[in-house]
Amino acid sequence: MFKVCFVCLGNICRSPTAEVVMRAKLRASGLADQVAVSSAGTGDWHVGSGVDARAAEALAAGGYDGFDDHSARQFDPAWFDDLDLVIALDRENLAALRRLTPADQRDQVRLLRSFDPTAGPDDLEVPDPYYGGSGGFERVLGMVERACDGLVGYIREQLG
């Protein structure tokens, strides 16, 4: 089983959005039984909380489900040994994760938008929509969808 964990700051907006989108894309591609997907936050502010209501609205409007039972959690460095990919949503979280990553596992920590063929080298972050309006959550959903398409292709190659 190939294991992926998406990571943002609090695990209530971006990373659960990526988790839900990726699960749907894996189902559509026939890979759902070969890939386990989870999410977490680098911080502990929202541990135990559900998906932000604005993120849930954007997901529902996009036709996604499976986010009602989400419970935010903080990333545990012990998980590195069990994960194939740890996907950060922005550079701040990428840096936080790399500080925790064992040296021999640094290649498994990547930015989500590095899998997005439309993202330029200076445009690899999924911005945090938490302090904005619903439009930011819709924009994040679009970025996540494009990047997850590329990530599915990458995982397909890894699985052979």
Tens of pLDDT, residue by residue over 30-63, are 999 999 999 999 999 999 999 999 999 999 999 9
- C-beta of residue 147 within 8 angstroms of C-beta of residue 113: yes
Q: What average pLDDT does this structure show over 69-90?
A: 96
Q: Which residues pair with 7 in a beta bridge?
A: 40, 88
pTM of the model: 0.96
At residue 57, φ and ψ (nearest 5 deg) are -65, -45
128 catalytic? Reply is yes
Q: Which residue has the tokens 């619903």?
A: 134
Exactly one of 52, 54, 128, 148 is catalytic; name it: 128
Helix (H, G, I), strand (E, B) or coil at 87: strand
Query: Is 156 marked active-site?
Result: no
5 a catalytic residue: no
Q: Please choose, from the candidates 8, 23, 13, the residue with its C-alpha nearest in 3D space to the C-alpha of residue 155.
A: 23
Tell me the C-alpha distance between 159 and 13, whole Å: 29
Helix/strand/coil percent split, the chain, to 5: 50, 15, 40
